[in-house]
Amino acid sequence: MRKRLRPLLVPALAVLSAFIVGSLFLLFTDIKHIGMLTTDPVGAFTGALGNIIDAYGALIVGAFGDPKRFSTALQSGDIHDWTIAFRPMSETLVAATPLMFTGLAIAVSFRSGVFNIGGDGQFVLGALGATVVALMFRGMPAPITLVAALAGGIVFGAVWGFIPGFLKARTGAHEVITTIMLNYVALQIVQLALRNDFLRQSTSSQPISKVLDFVRVPQLIPFLGLRLHWGFIVALLVAALVSWFLFKTTKGFELRSAGLNLTAARYAGMSAGGSIILAMVVSGALAGLGGAFQVMGSVTQMSNDVNSGYGWTAIALALLGGTRPGGVVAAALLFGALNNGGHGMQVASGVPLDLLVFIQALVIMFVAAPDLVRKIYRLRQPAIESGAPAAEGAPA
């Protein structure tokens, strides 16, 4: 058990450290209380401390809900009160869902020694693919349309992963360059597609698709009327599936081998090119599925806004989660909570949302520098690094 928990230690301490540094940041930008320092040092200090507690408190309430709301709901028993109480938690999970898909996508690529920076492009094209297929199937029974549209998202994402994979395997073109470029191409394709009358909502002057209300991903708890949908559950299942794929199948074994030592993998008769392509296709497909769920679950229309840098955040998540599927899920939940709770914090305590971006950046920084964390907390260096943690999982 201790051995199983070990890999969690550094990420957990990284998160803790990030919050501590974040609070220092709050402290030093607290002009009002700094000004009081000379006249009323005790008051200044307690005041500043109170501010920090308020801000982080609001963050937690924003992410997980307000205990007061829960007690209200308990007393009244009114469905509407329950909806209000659970909404923050639902929104946290809604925010985490696309991150889970893209995080898993990037983790698969890192494990395989491929640096997929194209999660963004694969995600938006997945969303576009789902939209196109949904509109094509319009009029068919909803479940069929939904499944077809999800498949469409997977295929579009997979194709967008295949291209850089193929280019790397065949010509050696570096995937970092090609995937970044393909991100721009993907955005342009979306722009173009949204001008097409087949997709475009004719009543709007904005580039925005028709409303996909006929293929909604079902809500998880329908009677509460929350946004949380089955995509979240599917993301959890996909994480388990990815884990099974990586550790229990021959193809997964090939990918991991190629990721850790490409020469030895080649000597063992594995096809380097095949592994690269497979890794990129799987990675793209996962990101694409995330896009499909986003457009049919969390929002209702395809637009440029469907993507908010999920592919980029995913890189951090894959590292934070040690490229382990379980770790990536945990990291995505954390970032979902921060993103969602941040809005609550901004409203309730006036601390700008940017603090959260700052904290997220610190988390990533601490995770990327495990030795620093070990030094701060005086942890012993592990005799031999186990698994493919952050530093090792990321290919050069």
Partner 1 sequence: MRLELREITKQFPGVLANDRISISADRGKVLGLLGENGAGKTTLMNILSGLYRPDSGEILIDGEPRLFSDPADAITAGIGMVHQHFMLVPVFDVVESVALGAEPVTGLVHTFDRATARKRVVELSAQYGLHVDPDAKIEDLPVGVRQRVEILKALYRKSDILVLDEPSAVLTPGETEELFAIIRGLAAGGTTVIFITHKLNEVLEVADTITVLRRGRVAGTVLPDETSREELANLMVGRDVELTVTRSPAKPAGVVLELVDLNVRDDRDSMAVRGVNLEVRAGEIVAVAGVQGNGQTELVEAITGLRQVDSGSLRIGGQVVEHASPRRVSDLGVAHIPEDRSRDGLIGSMTVEENYILDSYHRDPYSNGGRLDWKVIGEKAEVGVREFDIRTPSIETHVGALSGGNQQKVIVAREFSRPVQLVIAAQPTRGLDVGSIEYIHRRIIEQRDAGAAILIVSTELDEVLALGDRVAVMFAGQIVGVLSSDQATKEAVGMLMGGVH
Ligand X SMILES: Nc1ncnc2c1ncn2[C@@H]1O[C@H](COP(=O)(O)OP(=O)(O)OP(=O)(O)O)[C@@H](O)[C@H]1O
Site residues for partner 1 per CB under 8 A: 248-251, 253-254, 256-257, 260-261, 263-271, 383-388, 392
Show Cβ contacts of residue 139 under 8 Å, excluding neighbours closer than 6 positions: none
Q: Residue with CB nearest ligand X?
A: 383
CA–CA distance, 294 with 298 (Å, rounded to integer):
5
Indicate the residue among 188 and 381 with the shorter CB distance to partner 1.
381
Indicate the residue among 1 and 383 with the shorter CB distance to ligand X.
383
CB of 3 to ligand X, least distance (A): 14
CB of 11 to ligand X, least distance (A): 23
DSSP state of 185: H
Residue 248 interacts with, from partner 1, ligand X, none (CB under 5-8 Å by kind): partner 1
Burial class (CB in 10 A: 0-12, 13-18, 19+), 380: exposed
Q: Which two tokens stand for residue 347?
A: 């409203």
CA 379 to chain CA mean position, Å: 29
Asked if residues 220 and 229 have their Cβ atoms less than 8 Å apart, the reply is: yes
Asked if residues 321 and 329 have their Cβ atoms less than 8 Å apart, the reply is: yes
Alpha-carbon torsion, ordered 326, 393, 154, 176, to 10 deg: 150
Q: Is 380 in the site for ligand X (CB under 6 A)?
A: no
Indicate the residue among 148 and 270 with the shorter CB distance to partner 1.
270
Q: How far apart are the first and last CA of the chain?
A: 32
Residues, the chain = 396
Residue 269 interacts with, from ligand X, partner 1, none (CB under 5-8 Å by kind): partner 1
Q: Is 383 in the site for ligand X (CB under 6 A)?
A: yes
Q: Which two tokens stand for residue 60?
A: 């937690």
Among 384, 385, 393, 396, binds ligand X (CB under 6 A): 384
CB of 382 to ligand X, least distance (A): 9
CA 75 to chain CA mean position, Å: 36
Residue 350 interacts with, from partner 1, ligand X, none (CB under 5-8 Å by kind): none
CB of 324 to ligand X, least distance (A): 22
Indicate the residue among 309 and 387 with the shorter CB distance to ligand X.
387
Closest residue by Cα to residue 125 from 190, 176, 191: 190
CB of 243 to ligand X, least distance (A): 27
Q: Which two tokens stand for residue 33?
A: 């209380």
Indicate the residue among 342 and 389 with the shorter CB distance to ligand X.
389
CB of 381 to ligand X, least distance (A): 9
Indicate the residue among 265 and 333 with the shorter CB distance to partner 1.
265
CA 250 to chain CA mean position, Å: 27
CA max distance for the chain: 75
Residue 162 interacts with, from ligand X, partner 1, none (CB under 5-8 Å by kind): none
Residue 267 interacts with, from partner 1, ligand X, none (CB under 5-8 Å by kind): partner 1
Indicate the residue among 61 and 265 with the shorter CB distance to partner 1.
265
Lay out the site mask for ligand X across 335-374 (x = CB under 6 A, - = otherwise).
----------------------------------------
Indicate the residue among 31 and 383 with the shorter CB distance to ligand X.
383
Q: Is 307 helix (H, G, I), strand (E, B) or coil?
A: coil
Residue written as token pair 């914090």 = 345
CB of 177 to partner 1, least distance (A): 22
Residues 89-118 that bind ligand X (CB under 6 A): none
Q: Is 209 helix (H, G, I), strand (E, B) or coil?
A: strand
Show Cβ contacts of residue 57 under 8 Å, excluding neighbours closer than 6 positions: 349
CB of 384 to ligand X, least distance (A): 5
Closest residue by Cα to residue 131 from 207, 203, 222, 184: 207
Residues found near ligand X in the complex (CB under 6 A): 383-384
